A and B are shown apart, each in its own frame.
Chain A
Amino acid sequence: MESDTQQIALGLRQRDVVVLEALVEQYQYRLVRYLIYLLGRRDGVDDLVQETWLRVLERGSSYDGQSRFEPWLFRVARNIALDAMRKRPMFSLDSKDDNGVRPAPASDKPSPFTLAARTEDADRLARSLQTLEPVHREALVLRFQEDLSLQEISAIVGAPVSTVASRIYRGLATLRPQFEGETA
């Protein structure tokens, strides 16, 4: 019997719109969340989501079905986001960061993290998350929300596993002081 990933790969090779729509239903929220963590903003994310799915339709035959679908999808989304950063002033890019992603410019609007916080602890974390380096935020969401392995994250971001681990450590180190000196 074919595995789920092989069925997805077959559907993408055949450009089966029904398979694609099922994938959209299944992964849409996670895709939106990943892009918000990566960019640190909500504006423009829906456009990037649309472009991501269109690229999945066009280049879906490059997914081989041997590994999980999520890392491949996030890699596509990341490339779309980086392309948009290069093309559009709203995602301007002049970062010294090794991965070409820089923090969103300061804005009067509440951050997407503040708006999305549903618990007291999340609310405390929101401000620090907004100021965190995007690549650190990205590593945290992929490791602790998407539950991806370091190897999978490394394939998405195109950096060595040691770099990914270091981003996770640094991300945690920046956020941890919010809860230090308290009993949970």
Chain B
Amino acid sequence: MNIDHHESFQHMIEESLAGVISAERKQSLREHLDTCAPCQEYLSASNRVIASLGGFSFEVDPTLNARVFVSLRLRGQQVQAAQPSRRRWVLISLAAVVLTLGGSFVDLQFGDLIASAFDIQRAQAQLGLLAFWIVPSLCVLLLFPLLPLLSKAGTRREERTI
């Protein structure tokens, strides 16, 4: 039996150990191994290497788990605090709706009263309410629902590179 012939079967042994051999080649290898002492020795040495890998026992610092738990809890709280809950989003959006409607109501119902109280024209009072009350709360109302979407897009971008 020539060396090339053994090499071909020894490669099949490696394929078999790696788990990539076909059923047909495996059968052929089995038949060859029944009669070939060098290939049997090759398989035996390979199996001994694999078995020896199980003969290592690495020491793990007994405090490691506890340290990891502490870090996880701390980071968990930080992440939680950095990401407002859905309930908080809803409450802030509701507050913005109430403020916008309230500003518009005050503008319509009490515009004259405010103008006379501050001794200014009604148009000026309306402009003031619009600039310092209605428009800011309207901006919050319109922009806030977009923030969770932007936040999710950022998270997805991070997840692509775990």
Q: Which residues of A contact B (CB under 8 A)?
A: 15, 17, 20-21, 24-25, 28-29, 32-33, 36, 42, 46, 49-50, 53-55, 57-59, 61-62, 72, 75-76, 79, 112-113, 115-119, 121-126, 140-141, 143-145, 149-150, 161, 165, 168-169, 172, 175-176, 178-184
Contact = CB atoms under 8 A, between A and B. Distances in A.
Given A55-B162, A165-B15, A25 B53 contact: no
A113 B80 CA distance: 40
B162 A118 contact: no
A172 B162 contact: no
Identify the 3 closest CB pairs spanning chains A and B, nearest first. A122-B55, A119-B55, A62-B159
Interface string B43-81: 011111111111111111100110111011101100110
Nearest to A170: B14
Contacts of B79: 15, 57-58
Contacts of B51: 121
B19 interface: yes
Contacts of A182: 45
Contacts of A125: 49, 52-53, 55
Interface of A is mostly: helix
Given A20-B72, A25-B65, A58-B79, A124 B57 contact: no
A179 B75 contact: no
Contacts of A172: 14, 17, 46, 49-50
B8 interface: no
B23 interface: no
A165 B11 CA distance: 11
B71 to A, nearest CB: 6
Contact of A15 (B18, B47, B48, B76): B76
